[in-house]
Amino acid sequence: MLYSNLSADTDIDIVLILGRDKKGGLVSEPVVDKSKARIDVLNGNGIAGSAREIADLLKRNGFNISYIGDADRYDYAQTVIR
């Protein structure tokens, strides 16, 4: 799991690139404070408004969004979290 090795006071930088996979909920709740994560949401599927839609969903679930924009290309087959 992405968060499993982080202490509760660790700042997290996340870049989320939206691909063409299906949207779903979290597999499990993170073990760190979601409000400490700084997340960039990038549209990598070419569907207008996708990044904004996901950023809004993440905000409603307690995450901080640092940046919303376009990825370097629009042919990502799956969502990438890094």
User: In this predicted model, what pLDDT tens digit does every residue of 37-79 receive, in sequence order?
Assistant: 888 999 998 999 999 999 999 998 888 999 999 999 998 888 8
3-21 pLDDT, tens digit per residue, is 344 444 555 555 666 666 5
Confidence (pTM): 0.62
Q: What is the helix, strand, coil percentage profile of the chain, to 5?
A: 15, 30, 55
- Report pLDDT for 40: 92
Is pLDDT above 90 for 30? Answer: no
Structure tokens at 30: 């993170």
pLDDT value of position 81: 78
Q: In which order are the strands placed within the sheet that holds 12-18?
A: 64-70, 37-43, 12-18, 80-81
